[in-house]
Amino acid sequence: MPKLVHLSLSGRSGDYRWEGGHYIPEYALECRNLPKYNLVQRIIKPKFATIVSISVDQFFISSDQLVCLLKVPALRLTSLNLYQSNLVNDAVINAIVTHQTKIVHLFINTFYLYSLEPFNLLCRHLEKLETFHFKGSLSNSWGLESLLYFKELRTLKIKGYLDNYENRFPKPTILQRLLDKPRDILLTHLDIEFDLYGFSEPTINIVKMCVRFIASRFLKLTVLRLSSCPLDENLFREITTNLVNLVVLRVEDCNLSDNALTGLKHMETDASTPPLHHLKRLTDLDLSCNEVTDASLESAFTSCSLKKLSLRYCEITDCGLVNLAAQPESFKRSIEELDLSHCLKVTDLGLSKLLPELKRLRVLNLEGCREVTSKTLETVKTYCPKLRYLGVSFHI
């Protein structure tokens, strides 16, 4: 059986790299000063004849060299990492879709692609792609329609930098056409991060429509992370009602309206079912948004058996911790990791009410909690015998 090899063109190398379910040898090669023909000669040497994975940094290789490398006949890549570079252009895309169509894991920076066509080209030719991470300006990378070309895609990560070309955003008609398509979407892991600060209301509304499309069609999702996305009460409910297979839900630094999370309490009491009621498999919840208040936690978790809960940077006080302590036993018995870092209004008093209720707590993060002192250590020693990690800002 031929030896599988990972080639690092990033100046960082190790002895082995995890790839395809097992460790493979890793080799480092700096190509910056190598002519193109020398690069090819180095690559097709016997020890590099079975390269299946490459990571690239723009400081160690040029776009021309990368194109030359991708055309090497002996190369049969299953993984390509161009995520940390600005090497990607039309020539690189053409080389990938012409010579490396067996790629299963692709990490790519599309910042310098000024139209959707190269992105569409990737989507049409890499039918076996299972993992796709990309970043770039939102107008040229938010190719929702193109994503339907992927038949095997399981993991998608988008990091979008917004520009002012708002007319390039997916139009409502495109989104409706996507919603009407019967094709099943097999995606299980989705991670979206972009910043909407300072952009117009129409732009924000269209991004909300994109998230609504996700909530309506990506029904097999088990992991969803939304960072710096706009959410309101109705959209949050669509996510938690439709995506019933979620095991991990992370809503970090999102532009939540006042009603979106305080609505957790409101919907718990006034609606037919609470917003988290349908998420029977949910074990990891991150609500790290400064709009989260004490009222948000009053009855938010009556249906949950979480193992991990993160409330970083939330505007909760000791009253919020008392609300958590009043949750059902199923919630308190299941929590193993709790992150309250940078909750500036939390004090020793609130922790003394909450911690005795969390018998299985193993990880507690209180870093940045300025009102927490060494008094909490005594509470931890007394009531948290299983604790293995404690993050604090004061000196022990």
Residue with tokens 């088990």: 222
Distance, in Å, from the CA atom of 263 to the CA atom of 12, rounded to the nearest integer, reads 48
pLDDT of residue 40: 58
Residue with tokens 């031929």: 2
Taking only Cα atoms into account, the Rg of the chain, rounded to an integer number of angstroms, comes to: 24
Nearest residue to 301 (alpha-carbon basis) of 327, 337, 333:
327
pLDDT, tens digit only, all 396 positions of the chain: 445 566 777 655 444 444 444 444 444 454 444 454 456 566 555 455 566 788 887 667 778 888 888 888 777 888 898 887 778 888 999 999 999 999 999 998 877 676 667 777 888 888 889 998 888 765 544 556 666 667 788 998 888 765 544 445 555 555 555 556 656 778 899 998 876 666 677 777 777 877 888 888 889 999 999 988 888 888 888 999 999 999 999 998 876 544 544 444 444 434 445 568 888 899 999 998 877 888 878 767 777 789 999 999 998 999 999 999 998 898 899 999 999 999 999 999 999 999 999 999 999 999 999 999 999 999 999 999 999 999 998 755
φ/ψ of residue 338, rounded to 5: -135, 125
pLDDT of residue 23: 41
Nearest residue to 224 (alpha-carbon basis) of 202, 206, 203, 246:
246
Nearest residue to 313 (alpha-carbon basis) of 356, 369, 266:
369
Residue ranges of domains in the chain = 1-105
pLDDT of residue 275: 64
Strand partners, 327: none
Residue 134 sits at the vertex; the CA angle it makes with 133 and 136, to the nearest 5 degrees, is 160
Are β-strands 155-161 and 131-137 bridged in parallel, bridged antiparallel, or unpaired? parallel
Read off the amino acid at residue 151: K
